[in-house]
Structure 1
Amino acid sequence: MSGEDSSATPRNAVVVGAGLAGLLAASVLAGADYDVTIVERDRLPAGPDARAGIPQAHHTHLLFERGETGVEELLPGIRSELREAGAVSLGLPGDLEWVGPAGVIPRFPSRRTVLSCTRPVLDWTVRRRVSRDPRISFREGARAIGLETSAGAVTGLRLRCGDTSEVIPAALVVDASGRSSAAPAWLVDAGFPAPAEETVDAAIAYTTGLFRRTAPVPGPARGVYLQVSGTSLPRFGIALPVERDRWIVAVGGLRGHEPPTDQEGFAAFAATLASPALAGFLAGAVADSPLRGFRPPGSRRRHFDRTARRPEGFVVVGDAVCTFNPVYGQGMTVAVRQALALRGVLTDHGTGPGFTRRVQRAVAAEAAGPWKIAEAEDLRHPGTRGGHRTPLHRLQHAYLDRVQRAATADVTANYALLDVLALCAPPTRLFAPSVLFSALRHGGR
């Protein structure tokens, strides 16, 4: 559907979705002198509480160093606000009892950091900060249902609130509505082609709960991270400190290795992992929340950057563009980087002709490297559906196996692997001469 509304101005913008990606996009646009309306179908909680629109809110979320520094750049002082709310900074690899696919990772001096807190605390802290901006307002309980366009450009967003519909005039609409985004259907309804999609589904499932320790955590580690140890036992586990002296603990597996959601079964599943560290942790902890299971849909990437025709003034970011296997912890850091990319285009080029395509390409570029990492790892497992296994993947897997083995003995390979996993370096970092030498020297079986 298309229409025309003369009240739209170049400085009215609408952001769909009040998650991290939407909040940061709204802040960027307000900084560029837009009056921004954030449209959210949920009623937003008054404090750091979970909400229905984020079904994974009860599960583990990580903000890698690259994401944390990016949030601080966008919202100066937010790092202190997150720590005041209870977020915990962990050093990598030194603060973790970490077992990778090739074995125990030594606690080398920490090179990177990761911020750990529950998702409701992160969302609430950022939302509270963004809501202070007088240029930003919220429309809660409203569902976005389509675009208004005229002469190939966006003029507004159509909403439904209960039984009534309305149009918010805007010359810029940013869709940050997450995995459930209907952006492809909106484009088709407005006379534009839907983007091509690719999917990879490793059929992951996990169970998560909050715990309190009844005794000090044994040993020097402040967290436990047990990666999938191989195709024969594709299970994993993680325990990290979060706000209010609690720990968030999750166990999971790929297809055929789904964890139970009762406390006894949860502990028994933890005992089957590649290291006894997580089971030992649970032995000295008591539950502080119900256990919740989750089976996310497969990873999906939509190529809005490659569509031949698209309406000027419509941008898609965050999970609406690309979702990842959650075990890699990439999603929030990618969303932060995409907000920085939006700001970069606004700063360098403004909103003149070609703005939308520039932004969409910059957003896609931030997701490309993490997608390649996640896809390649998911395609190791025979139960994974989608994707395209190629001889190149087999070579990559063989080389990465050597790097992972080297990372259990040599700091050069360890730091390079950590830089890539934490999204502080592109995958090509693993092919640097020093890493190649380490893989050859230390990566034998």
Structure 2
Amino acid sequence: MVFSLRKKLYISFMIIIVLFIVTATFSFLLSRKTVHLMNDILLSEKRLEVVQRLNLFARTANDNGAHYLLAPLYIEDDFKSRFDTSVDYVNEGIAELSDLTPRPEDQRLILHFKDKWTAYVRDSEEILSLKKEGHVTQAQEDYTKDSFDPIAFSLHSFYISEQTQINSYKQRIEDSSRTIRVVNVASASFAILLSIFIAVILSNYLLRRIRLLKTSAQTVAKGDLQVPDLRFSGADELTELANAFNAMTYSLRTMLDSNHVLKQLSSRDGLTGIANRRCYDETLEREWNRLAIASKPLSLILFDIDYFKPFNDWYGHQAGDKCLQQVANLLQEHASEPHQLASRYGGEEFAILLSDQSIEQAMQIAESIQQALVKLSIPHSQSEVSDYVTVSVGISTVTATDKVPSSNLMHQADQALYLAKRNGRNQVAVYRPSDKSFSE
């Protein structure tokens, strides 16, 4: 099952919350148990208090019985009354103790004490009756033989049982408190470690993907759209973002390719495949401005196919188109270096721009093209200067500067081309300001 980033965070937080709830519930249950134990301790302490009173009243009854047997007649009724009162107090204490004792084993101890006490009171009443009847010596002997130890032992046994129970309760309370502390510390430690673990895992998970997104975005921002697609597993928000990023880069690449194709179509001559007039004009302005910064030269070679209209009329338009293509390919081969541009200027006219190249270099290129054209030997029976296709060439070189317009270069090259045509065609003419031919 695949979870989104938000769900992963929710699940992580829910685990921590459930852990705290379980810990709180466990602590609450132990606390309730501790409260119950404390209530049991209070109840046991009340029972101990009652046992102590029982012990006091039972001993008081025993002492008053002994005093009754030894007392003279005029005060014996007083001791008998005290004996009866102590017996009543003991009976009330037994009833109270029975009400405060829910455990069956403790009830058995109380019942045992009650039986012992009932027997003791019955025997004591019989002994006291002997004195009342005048058998003082026998009563004193019987009372002496009768021991209070079973009563004391029974109370002591109950007291020890309650004290042991209280100690057990206290130990259980201490154990519960220790368990609560251990559970709380363990739960808090586990929650902290779990939080740190989740934070580290999520931060590494997020940072790794965010870094990849950042790197890819920076690459695209620099203009490089050839970035590999981001492949994120899962179905969280970052995966959706990566998929959207991949779709965006694909769209940009498609758009760029389309723009590149359109630019190629808009800057290339449809027939010859070399740069067209628009591309020539843009390149001329761009190179002129670039070279003007350092006042460097820019050369222009203009070509015009001699007697092309008669060629086209005689051989047909298809042959004319092929002739234009052959001449264009020839120019492209000789102007393939950086900052060189061969273009179709219009009709049967072609141009080559040479950035930062002297007029001598331009003349070498022009002469090389003329020689290569001779080797092509394209038949031209309608030419007045040769049996093959030839070109007239005009060359101009101008030092680029922001004080002179770029149109001067074209104007001078055009004058040189006009001079080559006027002088008989099939030749190269170079514009030189000192040449009087250009002032005519």
TM-score range, shorter chain: under 0.3
- TM-score, length basis structure 2: 0.17
Larger fraction in helix: 2
User: Which entry has the higher C-alpha Rg, 1 or 2?
Assistant: 2
